[in-house]
């Protein structure tokens, strides 16, 4: 049944403490190559043309452009304009909206009060379709199958009417608006995922006029109840979610611009959230992202600091103590930051804006072994790490530590216990092993991965979001 899964495996010997404490270095490269843009505000990264490499999209509100940058496989980019009439383009998101096997594009046009999608004909020619003209000042768009009917629905956060809304797709890409909240004062950010892991999709928003981060619990029938995570996030501009502390529940992290703060909110497993400050020196932080930048199997945080012209990352020591490290100190007013493996070399690179007309990607130069200084060591114990990213859309990495050569099996199950994929069924050498699992045609939901062998059987959860 599940024949379309791809699997990439790479194995490496666990590094010494010397290596693990070495700083990851980043080399800047231009994406937009001086392509004329004005008011560059947002971006997304996806394989738009289906050729196996990561392309970039951008929204620029000064010239009303939605643009995509075609990667030739060598990280040389050619700009293509999707639209130059997206009035006040402020957000961009890419997904296969019409389920025809190619990637379409969503955008929010602030000045036109409009949410639109651009249909890809499979040859990267795009036709504009309006989803809504009633979102007053939409600042954020997102897409997911919210009602579990196997089509893609759309969400927006709009600043002018304090509204978080979702647009139900009738499977023919006709969209009906449903208001989740009209009291999110200055709604500026929205995403959707199964926060309480009950099998349906909930909604998360940030609203900067009331300093609020809230989540809206889906009762399974798309009736939403608001729960406030914090009402003290001064002028919060961006919010997102991931399992920060590796305890198999969904935590929240945010860019709190008015307080120059980056913070994460720990979920106790019952959706009670406790704030932890990552930085209080994040001058006008406009954007945050999360990824395992240093390859040590825990979640690091990234941010774009507009007031100090910096892009930084906060290294997680594995106990959720974060240390600020520099990606670039020469970025003129960065408005966004994104983490993705742009060059397909199995480490996480970084995307950001520079000024109002340049997109830069920062190549992750992972630390290399130094002869004579780095003794070979092996893991001291068997360990199954939390998959990363989690939740994930198309692919996630599962990491296993083995102290000795061991016969092992690694399988994926759905929530009913049905086996859907087997990633491993043979002896492995001592060391750290990483397996990339591709979700293929799996529906959104909770899945189980299980590592088993003689004397051990370990299971963990992962979440697919489509």
Identify the CA nearest to 464 among candidates 412, 402, 401: 412
pLDDT of residue 378: 56
Structural contact between residues 338 and 8, judged by C-beta atoms closer than 8 angstroms: no
Structural contact between residues 40 and 331, judged by C-beta atoms closer than 8 angstroms: no
Q: Is 339 exposed, middle or buried (0-12, 13-18, 19+ CB in 10 A)?
A: buried
Residue 349 predicted with pLDDT over 50: yes
Exposure pattern of 80-116 as b/e (b: 16+ CB <10 Å)?
bebbeebebbbbbbbbebbbeebbbbbbbbbebbbbb
Residue 437 predicted with pLDDT over 50: yes
- Sheet of strand 175-181, all strands in order from the earlier edge strand to the far edge: 138-144, 153-158, 163-169, 175-181
The Cα–Cα gap between 415 and 152 comes to 22
List Cβ neighbours of 21 (8 Å cut-off, separation of 6 or more).
none
- Sheet of strand 273-279, all strands in order from the earlier edge strand to the far edge: 236-242, 251-256, 261-267, 273-279
Residue 6 predicted with pLDDT over 70: no
The Cα–Cα gap between 321 and 337 comes to 21
List Cβ neighbours of 96 (8 Å cut-off, separation of 6 or more).
102, 103, 104, 152
The Cα–Cα gap between 199 and 167 comes to 20
The Cα–Cα gap between 163 and 137 comes to 10
What are 7's strand-pairing partners? 437
- Give the residue-averaged pLDDT of 37-42: 92
Handedness of CA 150, 152, 153, 155 (dihedral sign): positive
pLDDT of residue 356: 65
- Sheet of strand 431-438, all strands in order from the earlier edge strand to the far edge: 7-12, 431-438, 395-402, 383-384
Structural contact between residues 248 and 460, judged by C-beta atoms closer than 8 angstroms: yes
What are 438's strand-pairing partners? 395
Q: Which pair of tokens denotes residue 344? A: 């397909």
- Give the residue-averaged pLDDT of 330-336: 92
Q: Is 451 exposed, middle or buried (0-12, 13-18, 19+ CB in 10 A)?
A: buried
Q: What are phi and psi of 152, to 5 degrees?
A: -95, 120
Q: Which pair of tokens denotes residue 458? A: 């370990």
Identify the CA nearest to 256 among candidates 268, 245, 265: 265
Residue 23 predicted with pLDDT over 80: no
Identify the CA nearest to 276 among candidates 333, 224, 316: 316
pLDDT of residue 17: 33
Looking at residue 2, the DSSP 8-state letter turns out to be: -
Structural contact between residues 359 and 68, judged by C-beta atoms closer than 8 angstroms: no
Q: How confident is the model at residue 247 (pLDDT cuts 50, 70, 90)?
A: confident
Q: Which pair of tokens denotes residue 62? A: 């000064």
Question: Which pLDDT tens digit goes with each residue over 103-138?
Answer: 999 999 999 999 999 999 999 999 999 999 999 999
Identify the CA nearest to 192 among candidates 149, 263, 123, 143: 143
Q: Which pair of tokens denotes residue 141? A: 């768009």
CA 205 to chain centre: 15
pLDDT of residue 7: 37
pLDDT of residue 350: 96
pLDDT of residue 138: 98
pLDDT of residue 169: 97
Q: How confident is the model at residue 379 (pLDDT cuts 50, 70, 90)?
A: low
**Mean pLDDT highest for which of 278-292, 348-362, 366-380?**
278-292
The Cα–Cα gap between 56 and 48 comes to 8
Region of poorest pLDDT, from 33-42, 77-86, 162-171, 267-276: 33-42
What are 133's strand-pairing partners? none
What angle is formed at CA 220 by the lines to CA 214 and CA 221, rounded to 5 degrees? 100
Residue 441 predicted with pLDDT over 90: no
**Mean pLDDT highest for which of 36-40, 195-199, 224-228?**
224-228
Residue 75 predicted with pLDDT over 60: yes
Q: Which pair of tokens denotes residue 145? A: 């199958």
């Amino acid at each position: 049944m599940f024949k379309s899964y791809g699997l990439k495996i790479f194995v490496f010997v666990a590094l010494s403490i010397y290596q693990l404490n070495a700083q990851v270095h980043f080399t800047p490269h231009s994406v937009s190559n001086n392509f004329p843009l004005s008011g560059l505000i947002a971006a997304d990264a996806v394989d738009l043309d289906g050729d196996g490499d990561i392309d970039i999209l951008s929204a620029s509100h000064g010239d009303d452009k939605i643009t995509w940058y075609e990667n030739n496989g060598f990280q040389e980019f050619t700009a293509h304009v999707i639209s130059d009439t997206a009035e006040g383009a402020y957000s961009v998101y890419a997904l296969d909206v019409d389920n025809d096997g190619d990637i379409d594009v969503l955008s929010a046009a602030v000045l036109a009060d409009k949410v639109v999608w651009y249909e890809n004909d499979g040859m990267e020619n795009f036709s504009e379709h309006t989803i809504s003209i009633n979102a007053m000042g939409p600042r954020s768009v997102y897409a997911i199958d919210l009602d579990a009917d196997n089509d893609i629905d759309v969400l927006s956060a709009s600043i002018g009417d304090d509204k978080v809304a979702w647009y139900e797709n009738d499977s023919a890409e006709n969209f009906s608006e449903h208001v989740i909240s009209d009291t999110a004062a200055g709604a500026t950010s929205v995403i959707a995922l199964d926060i309480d892991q009950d099998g349906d999709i909930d909604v998360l928003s940030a609203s900067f006029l009331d300093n609020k981060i809230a989540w809206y619990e889906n009762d399974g029938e798309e009736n939403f109840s608001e729960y406030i995570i914090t009402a003290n996030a001064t002028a919060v501009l961006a919010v997102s979610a991931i399992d920060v502390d590796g305890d198999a529940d969904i935590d929240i992290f945010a860019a709190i611009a008015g307080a120059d703060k980056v913070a994460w909110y720990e979920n106790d497993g019952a959706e009670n959230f406790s704030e932890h400050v990552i930085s209080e020196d994040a001058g006008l932080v406009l954007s945050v992202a999360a990824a395992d930048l240093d390859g040590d199997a825990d979640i690091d945080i990234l941010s774009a600091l507009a007031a100090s012209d910096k892009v930084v990352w906060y290294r997680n020591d594995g106990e959720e103590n974060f240390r600020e490290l520099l990606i670039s100190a020469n970025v003129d007013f960065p408005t966004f930051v994104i983490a993705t493996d742009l060059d397909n070399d199995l480490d996480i690179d970084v995307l950001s804006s520079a000024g109002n007309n340049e997109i830069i990607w920062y190549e992750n130069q992972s630390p290399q072994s130094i002869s004579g200084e780095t003794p070979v060591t092996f893991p001291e114990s068997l360990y199954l790490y939390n998959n990363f990213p989690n939740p994930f859309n198309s692919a996630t990495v599962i990491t296993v530590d083995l102290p000795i050569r061991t016969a092992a099996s690694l399988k994926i199950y759905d929530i009913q216990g049905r086996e859907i994929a087997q990633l491993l069924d043979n002896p492995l050498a001592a060391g750290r092993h990483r397996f990339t699992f591709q979700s293929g045609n799996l529906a959104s939901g909770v899945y189980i991965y299980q590592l088993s062998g003689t004397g051990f059987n370990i299971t963990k959860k992962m979440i697919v979001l489509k």
